[in-house]
Amino acid sequence: MFSASIVRWFWLIPLVALLSTASCSSNKRSKGSRSERTANVSRNGSASIDAFVKEWEGVPYRYGGTSKAGVDCSGFVGALYRQVYQKELPRTTAALASSSKPVGKSALEEGDLVFFDMQGKKKSHVGVYLNAGSFVHASTSKGVIVSDLNNPYYQAAFSSGARP
């Protein structure tokens, strides 16, 4: 027989399951050391976006988060746009996707949004394109990291590019 304390907390199981499958999921590691990834950022990127990425890299993932204490993918994109481009963006990945102008993968420029289909959900993860195939995003497993669009994992999950 279940004790009263177990039954009292049993309702949390579906909530935790729902939150763990929510948007902004990315659990594959980016290849290369931190210094190698950061070096890729500064090749053609502006100094302000480079500084922002260096400042935020490694910030842990937190669903619904918008600060350096923890951030999710769309919260990170919003923070980047506020600081680097002085522009407010919609808060959710879905709202970002619907309010942005589509851009082909080969036409991506620094600051464009890149969307991914994760865990069977369309446009459920977002990052910001940097240059030379690299993008920055808040990964559920690694926090804020720079990744490569040419990585087979991200190639398969890539949905679209967009300009806010």
Write the Ramachandran bin of 147: left for phi over 0, alpha for psi from -120 to 50, otherwise beta.
beta
For residue 22, give the 3-state DSSP assignment: coil
Which pLDDT band holds residue 149 (cuts at 50, 70, 90)? Answer: very high
Structural domain including 119 reads 24-163
From 97, 137, 139, 148, the catalytic residue:
137
Nearest by Cα to 112 from 37, 62, 45: 45
Active site residue 125: yes
| pLDDT for position 70 | 98
From 75, 77, 108, 125, the catalytic residue:
125
- Are 113 and 96 a contacting pair, CB within 8 Å? yes
For residue 14, pLDDT beyond 70: no
**Residue 85 in domain:** yes
**Residue 60 in domain:** yes
Active site residue 24: no
**Residue 2 in domain:** no
**15-61 tens-digit pLDDT:** 333 333 344 544 333 334 333 333 333 333 466 999 999 999 999 99
**Residue 90 in domain:** yes
Structure tokens at 55: 């400042």
* Whole-angstrom distance, CA of residue 24 vs CA of residue 21: 9
**Residue 80 in domain:** yes
**Residue 7 in domain:** no
From 24, 59, 73, 162, the catalytic residue:
73
Residue 33's DSSP bridge partners are none
157 CB-near residues (< 8 Å, 6+ apart): 116, 117, 118, 125
**65-111 tens-digit pLDDT:** 999 999 999 999 999 999 999 999 999 999 999 999 999 999 999 99
| pLDDT for position 150 | 95
- Are 163 and 112 a contacting pair, CB within 8 Å? yes
Which alpha helices (H) appear in the chain, and where do they start and end?
A: 4-9, 12-20, 34-42, 47-56, 73-85, 93-99, 152-157
Active site residue 137: yes
The domain tally of the chain equals: 1
